[in-house]
Structure 1
């Protein structure tokens, strides 16, 4: 009987432990919601730390409202990213969303199976990290997403820009399919509201 128990234990130990969340499951998770909100902590490349609230609305929209003392605002909408400086009376710095790795997860349909998009993918039973880049424009940088399983949940991302600088965004509990007005992502409206 002890031999049978030992044999059964060895069979169980020999079964493969699921090492990571599959790429297809990650795509399905990202495509499974249109809007999301979460508190975030951002660690910048110079080591400085900011906190705030993130709002996402796919396709193509994101808003980072930074807490005091920073009080900055970053909006992605209308194909642009705008960085509003709270102490400046000048219009925001703007550049195309398509030139940022964040655009990969803000797409209408996220397809991580595209050739050349997944640069790295790995993990263990507790978390999975997947690094993505635009296959047509790898020089725009990359975004590493970190997920926990059961249920799959996005926990953080690390954006590496074209100069190699890294920005880490650690997410609190995400509220999926949250009610977020489209106007919150309207850059011209925010410029007008601020009188810039």
Structure 2
């Protein structure tokens, strides 16, 4: 699937992850704790860092409005934009004037964390659950459609916080996003996730 290659064009970033400020050794967080963490917030904003396949680094702001909505707004001069809303993911390429590429959100592993109710205890969803003493990592997939790929989520402990994810798409391409501290709560205007309105605004 071209979606996730185009969506982030990322590779793993172990060196950057090691540089994150992490707490001392802690026990592995349970699946119920991790599910509760995601279900306990509706909106969140923060900064993200993207490591591109060619070695370049992009930064920007992330906006999350669960269920089903997310926006990756890149820092200038990059005018690219990725957003999910209305059951679709749209990729606005700053170098294109033909409108965004669109894909069903349900066909991407990102839909797992944007679900109305996250339940990592669901049979067949979690295929990996480990801890290195500082973070807890889980590997999740749509149990009904494992062919859509999977997502690895890395959480710190005490308190539980989502710090990064690695998506592997149906073609085996990996993408990584490293998150800054997320600020949860607050109102996010619906236009942030309105694909038709953004398309019109850009004149596509």
Which TM-score applies when normalising by structure 2? 0.84
Asked which structure has the greater CA Rg, the reply is 1
- Residue in 2 that maps onto 1:142: 150
Q: Matched residues in 2 for 1:60 and 1:142: separation?
A: 17
Query: SS state of the match for residue 116, structure 1?
Result: coil
Tell me if the contact between 1:45 and 1:165 (Cα under 8 Å) persists in the aligned partners: no
User: 1:48: Cα distance to partner?
Assistant: 3.4
Of residues 184, 193, 196, the one that matches 2:201 is 193
> Structure 2: which 5+ residue stretches go unaligned?
1-24
Query: SS state of the match for residue 143, structure 1?
Result: strand
Deviates more, 1:45-54 or 1:74-83: 45-54
Q: Which has the higher contact order (CA 8 A, sep 6+)?
A: 2
Q: Matched residues in 2 for 1:136 and 1:20: separation?
A: 27
Q: Number of aligned pairs? A: 180
Give per-residue Cα distances to partners, 1:16-64, cap 9 Å, x unaligned.
x853000000000000000111100012344332111110000100000
Deviates more, 1:166-175 or 1:41-50: 41-50
Tell me if the contact between 1:146 and 1:156 (Cα under 8 Å) persists in the aligned partners: yes
Tell me if the contact between 1:76 and 1:82 (Cα under 8 Å) persists in the aligned partners: yes
Q: CA RMSD in A?
A: 1.3
- Residue in 1 that maps onto 2:128: 120
Of residues 87, 93, 105, the one that matches 1:97 is 105
Q: Matched residues in 1 for 2:132 and 2:174: separation?
A: 23
- Residue in 2 that maps onto 1:133: 141
Query: SS state of the match for residue 33, structure 2?
Result: helix
Tell me if the contact between 1:157 and 1:170 (Cα under 8 Å) persists in the aligned partners: yes
> Structure 1: which 5+ residue stretches go unaligned?
1-16
